[in-house]
Amino acid sequence: MSESDQQAAARSGRARARAVADAVLYEGYLLYPYRADARKNRSRWQFGVLGPVDAAADGFGEESEMSGQALLDVAGECSLRFAVRFLQLQHRGVRDADDAPVAELTAAGRTWLDWDEAVECEIVLSPRAPEGFTAPIQIPGGTDVERLGDPAGDPEGSIVRTRCDLDGRFELTVEPDDGYLRLTMTVRNTAEPATDQRDAITRSLIGAHLIVEAEGAQFVSLLEPPPSAEAAVRRCTQHRCFPVLAGPPGDHSLLLVSPIILYDHPEIAEQSPEPLFDSTEIDEILTLRVMTMTDAEKAAARTTDPRAARIVDRCEAMTAEDLARLHGVLRDPHADEVHAIPEIPLGTDWWDPAADGAVRPESDAVPIAGVLIRQGSRVRLHPSRRADIHDMFFDGRDARVTSVHADVDGRTHVGVVITDDPGADLHEWYGRYLYFDPDELEPLDRPGK
């Protein structure tokens, strides 16, 4: 693979991993029916929440840390690149023309609600050798004011978005284990203890996870480790997260340390055009339910959050073909297997002209032990049905296939001539073949030859 191809593959792998990480980041962000007044949306932020110190013990929030262990197979010089990702809660407060807080405001033809939004945060730690270190996580708070109404006239109200400071720490420890390096990756919220539940969530790291990229080394699958790593994998421990290989199959350079347990090489289904955020979502069912919402309910969802508005708009614009794709994909579990040629459709009677016209004994083929046997294929004979007394004399003899036939009962018969028969050419000239069932033949040609 050329250097440019390697770089393109690396970019593709990163994009794939990031798409899955984004799904993890927003899992549970907003639940159906996507309205602020829905009871389900009174308790959001379901996964990967790291609360301030003692928030869990005080009953105000979640534990303050997550920690995952993974194995790194190092062959020489290597480096690791860490990206710590999470959401920062941003409160969207609504104020009227007198600057008084209100729960709802209609201005400039649009309705605004008091609501908690989120800001994506990412701390990228520059590539470094696999050695222990500690890095701070500091996200500043702030306040942004958006005036509502005619810019040339008196304001009709305002939107005030506020964020609290976030403080945390990333820690890496490295130790050898059976020829591998065991990485312990910890993300910790170091904020002061919270005073109540509201204070706890506003200073939490939400949807926290890690993307780790290795150069010059490979991560070991914790789900399907090689035999040499099985004992070391059993010694790995996880707390509130689980590391999985995040690149495409065969790529062991990317790791996703996720608060949701995933399988190795996860990917977003191509049939899923837009995230629905609802935890354990089933796209088709949720889409159908959104399409059955009343106009008033859809309006309430659009008012709640811009992401909810996109979901409603996308569902309303779906075509029948779009909806059919959400139903899933039918995959043939035997798609990689060798099939007979021709393949006559099921239910087609032998007397049907379509079946008769599909048969070509001189070019048809039948799979035997994963090899397509057709005219010219070399086989070894192992007669077992003893249809003829002479069959015993053909056992172990090599033969050349001349034709493949199917009878009206659905059985396949393979015509052959004995390779070392002096009269083989003559037999083939006037069509005097020996016939055997496929299970009486042993292919002598390599698969795919």
Tell me the per-residue pLDDT of 206-250, one tens digit each, with 9 for 90 and over. 999 999 999 999 999 999 999 999 999 999 999 999 999 999 999
Q: Quickly tell me which residue has 């008091």 as its tokens.
A: 114
Query: What does the pLDDT read at residue 330?
Result: 62
d(C-alpha 56, C-alpha 287), whole Å: 36
Q: What phi-psi label fits residue 179: left (phi over 0), alpha (psi between -120 and 50 degrees) or beta?
A: left
Mean residue pLDDT across the chain: 87
d(C-alpha 384, C-alpha 375), whole Å: 22
Query: What does the pLDDT read at residue 345?
Result: 57
**Is 342 in contact with 360 (CB distance < 8 Å)?**
yes
* Phi, psi torsion values for 144, nearest 5 degrees: -120, 135
Instruction: Please list, in sequence order, all residues whose beta carbon lies within 8 angstroms of the beta carbon of residue 372, skipping any fewer than 6 positions away.
Output: 338, 341, 365, 366
For the chain, give percent helix, strand, coil, nearest 5. 20, 35, 45
Confidence grade of residue 448 (pLDDT, cut at 50, 70, 90): very low
Distance linking the first and last C-alpha atoms of the chain: 26
Between these two residues, 220 and 360, which has the higher pLDDT value?
Answer: 220
Range with the poorest average pLDDT among 32-41, 110-119, 356-365: 356-365
Confidence grade of residue 431 (pLDDT, cut at 50, 70, 90): confident
Count how many Cα atoms sit within 13 Å of the Cα of residue 297 in the half-sphere of its side chain: 12
**Is 48 in contact with 63 (CB distance < 8 Å)?**
no
Query: What does the pLDDT read at residue 94?
Result: 94
- Kindly state the DSSP code that residue 220 receives in the 8-state scheme: P
Span 50-78, average pLDDT: 95
The rounded percent of the chain whose pLDDT value lies above 90 is 56
Count how many Cα atoms sit within 13 Å of the Cα of residue 202 in the half-sphere of its side chain: 19
d(C-alpha 376, C-alpha 214), whole Å: 51
Question: In this model, does residue 336 exceed pLDDT 70?
Answer: no
Between these two residues, 391 and 245, which has the higher pLDDT value?
Answer: 245
* Phi, psi torsion values for 375, nearest 5 degrees: -55, 130
* Phi, psi torsion values for 302, nearest 5 degrees: -60, -35
Q: Decide: helix, strand or coil at residue 301.
A: helix
434: tokens are 């020996």
In sign, the C-alpha dihedral spanning 300, 301, 304, 310 is negative
**Is 255 in contact with 219 (CB distance < 8 Å)?**
yes
Query: What does the pLDDT read at residue 449?
Result: 45
In angstroms, the Cα distances linking 198 to 65, 162, 240, 278 are 19, 13, 22, 22
Q: What is the dihedral of CA 128, 130, 136, 138, to 10 degrees?
A: 60
Span 287-310, average pLDDT: 92
CB neighbour class for 301 (10 Å; exposed up to 12, middle 13-18, buried from 19): buried
